[in-house]
Structure 1
Amino acid sequence: MSRSALTLIGSVLAAGIAVAGCSAAPPPAPAAPPAAAPTAAAPEHQGGHGAHEGHGSSSAVPALYAVQSGPLGVVATDGGGHLMYRSDKDSAAPSASTCTGPCTETWIPVLVAPGQEPELLGVDAALVGRLARPEGTSQLTLAGWPLYRHRDDPGGLQNAGHHGEDGTWFAVTPTGDKATAS
């Protein structure tokens, strides 16, 4: 369940308790989701740990958010706050992924179910697409670039250590460009 859904449920429960207890205080307003990375679904449902090629599918809605990271400027993350990456070995025109097999154990493709649209925040919907992977799944693209996350990224922007890895993998901006360290 998403963090924002849990916050809303907590607020509703607190309001119910206040009314049941005849409290004179007004019920608390629902808390807004964190601006940095609202959660739309658990990371493992967005091409997260264990969601490697051909392993299961998910009904959770994937998300792409534009988030200020500090050292890399504004970057794209998923709903769990995991940095989105692109590979220089892939192609944007046409969209093509070269990361298959063992590569997907480290660089996890961001998958989307057929007919499902990602939740977007600060990312232009016109730049978001998908490509068919060899095993039949659908991978999100941004400005044509296939999107991935790193398996060791626990979420949160404090872990930008994979940016520039192997001179090939780069955190991606909300426009699909490579992020640049400031």
Structure 2
Amino acid sequence: MTDQRTRLLGAVAAGCLLALTACGAPDGAATPADPPPAPAASSGQAHPAGHGTDDDARPVLYAVQSGPLGIVVTDGSGRLMYRSAEDSTDPPVSNCAGSCAATWIPVAAASEGQEPDLLGVDPALVGVVRRDDGMRQLTLAGWPLYRHRDDTGTLETTGQNGADATWFVVTSTGEAVTPQP
């Protein structure tokens, strides 16, 4: 598992570095000189709300190039980050609960005072919202972040702009990605 995670992180970092050096960094994103450090090992223990990992693991948000979608945000395993049109940003509110949260898994924030591991994402845009279930959920530009339960980390859009046109992959600035025909 550790070897697989290390290879995946290396591939994501290499792709990100290639994209950022070839195309230039997006506004507000720094071009990294070195690949990001490997995420801290986790015991894999779930949060009380059933989402994310234990409090020792820092959440990870990396801006990566993903072909037709452009530069998008992934977690440390290469899974795409999504936002929902059903949520709000002022104030940030997550409206995905119950069966919705079983499909669209809220991205857990680390314990109070612990910063996420970021690459190509402006720290000033990253925040936390407290969900109705008590979980601390990571936000980007005020939008609560989610990942799709079937995402395997291959940068394929599982659920992008689904049947109800509600779910969108997120750019490094929190914008919704709208694929071009």
TM-score interval, smaller chain: 0.7 to 0.9
Instruction: Please say if residues 64 and 77 of structure 1, whose CA atoms lie closer than 8 Å, have aligned partners that are also in contact.
Output: yes
- Tell me the distance in 1 between the aligned counterparts of 2:99 and 2:42: 20
Instruction: Show the counterpart of 2:104.
Output: 107
Q: Which amino acid aligns with 2:173?
A: T
Gaps of 5+ in 1: 8-30
> Are 2:39 and 1:40 aligned?
yes
Residue 146 to residue 2, structure 1, CA distance change in 2 (3 Å): farther
- Tell me the distance in 2 between the aligned counterparts of 1:89 and 1:40: 31
* Counterpart pick for 1:149 among 133, 147, 151: 147
Instruction: Show the counterpart of 1:86.
Output: 83
Q: Which amino acid aligns with 1:150?
A: H
- Tell me the distance in 2 between the aligned counterparts of 1:104 and 1:68: 27
Q: Which amino acid aligns with 1:170?
A: F
Residue 80 to residue 136, structure 1, CA distance change in 2 (3 Å): same
> Are 2:42 and 1:54 aligned?
no
Instruction: Please say if residues 83 and 167 of structure 2, whose CA atoms lie closer than 8 Å, have aligned partners that are also in contact.
Output: yes
Aligned residue pair count:
154
Please identify the structure whose Cα radius of gyration is greater. 1
> Are 2:178 and 1:180 aligned?
yes
- Tell me the distance in 1 between the aligned counterparts of 2:73 and 2:100: 21
When the two chains are superposed, the root-mean-square deviation of aligned CA atoms in Å is 3.0
Between the aligned residues of both structures, percent identity stands at 54
Shift of 1:98: 0.3
Shift of 1:34: 3.1
- Tell me the distance in 2 between the aligned counterparts of 1:151 and 1:126: 28
The runs of at least 4 aligned residues of structure 1 exceeding 6 Å deviation read none
What's the TM-score once normalised by structure 1's chain length?
A: 0.73
Shift of 1:135: 1.7
Shift of 1:44: 9.9
- Tell me the distance in 2 between the aligned counterparts of 1:105 and 1:127: 26
Shift of 1:33: 7.3
Residue 78 to residue 162, structure 1, CA distance change in 2 (3 Å): same
